[in-house]
């Protein structure tokens, strides 16, 4: 009887470690982002996470990470604010360099079944506080097999600055010397995140996420 109990205990323990290892096993994904517009898109901030984390919520005020990214277009503060939360996050990284009009770029990242979601945001460069992105893109199916996803994302307004830059400048170099180009009007109190009134229902980016297969 003792031997059976001991065997059962060992079997249960082995099953636990195998299940835990399966959840932690990492899959490499390839992320390709295509700019569908005639505007520059700033570098993006990306988060691999579980369901307890939410990058932003439409109808709610922008968190510090989204406020900083959608206003400045820089990812350093975005990554700082996201990583400070810790809970529910596997990894946070930036898509360096941005995207020229109609341009595209790719990057590799890792995810696991324990952290099966991807969220991200990019600033539309000429705007005051307009970003594009999405929440909770599924990386695995119900059987925990890695998925390929192709989505198009629209613009959203962070609600932290007044929209005064409605069109890109004809000359970005000359605009640097125009005082009005640098003006910002902070909304106090801030408005909730909402669909962008500048871009209406237009698709901004096409995003392809797929399991990466090494080709020598």
CA–CA separation, 182 and 42 (whole Å): 17
Q: Which two tokens stand for residue 16?
A: 């636990």
CA–CA separation, 135 and 159 (whole Å): 18
Query: Which H or E element spans position 83?
Result: helix 76-85
Q: How confident is the model at residue 18 (pLDDT cuts 50, 70, 90)?
A: very low
CA–CA separation, 91 and 109 (whole Å): 9
* 136 has a pLDDT exceeding 60: yes
Which superfamily does 25-211 belong to?
F-spondin domain (2.60.40.2130)
pTM (2 d.p.)? 0.85
Say what the pLDDT of residue 95 is: 81
48 in Cβ contact with 117 (< 8 Å): yes
What does the DSSP assignment read for 47-67? EEE-TT--S--TTSPPPHHHH
Say what the pLDDT of residue 181 is: 66
Say what the pLDDT of residue 97 is: 80
Residue with tokens 């990466």: 212
**Percent of the chain scored above 70 by pLDDT?**
81
């Amino acid at each position: 009887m003792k031997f059976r109990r001991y065997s059962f205990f060992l079997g249960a323990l082995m099953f636990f470690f195998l299940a835990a290892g399966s959840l932690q096993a990492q899959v490499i994904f390839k992320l390709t982002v295509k700019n569908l517009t005639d505007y520059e898109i700033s570098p993006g901030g990306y988060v691999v996470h579980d369901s307890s984390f939410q990058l932003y919520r439409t109808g709610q005020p922008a968190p510090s990470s989204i406020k900083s990214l959608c206003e400045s277009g820089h990812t350093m503060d975005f990554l700082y604010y996201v990583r400070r939360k810790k809970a529910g996050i596997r990894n946070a990284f930036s898509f360096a360099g941005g995207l020229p009009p109609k341009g595209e770029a790719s990057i590799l990242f890792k995810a696991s079944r324990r952290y099966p979601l991807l969220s991200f945001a990019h600033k539309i460069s000429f705007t005051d506080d307009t970003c594009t992105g999405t929440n909770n893109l599924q990386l695995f199916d119900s059987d925990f097999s890695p998925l390929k996803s192709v989505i198009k994302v629209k613009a959203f307004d962070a609600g932290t600055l007044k929209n005064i830059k409605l069109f890109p400048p004809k000359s970005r170099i000359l605009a640097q010397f125009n005082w009005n180009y640098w003006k910002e009007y902070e909304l106090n109190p801030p408005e909730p995140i909402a669909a962008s009134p500048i871009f209406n229902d237009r698709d901004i980016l096409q995003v392809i996420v797929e399991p990466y297969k090494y080709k020598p």
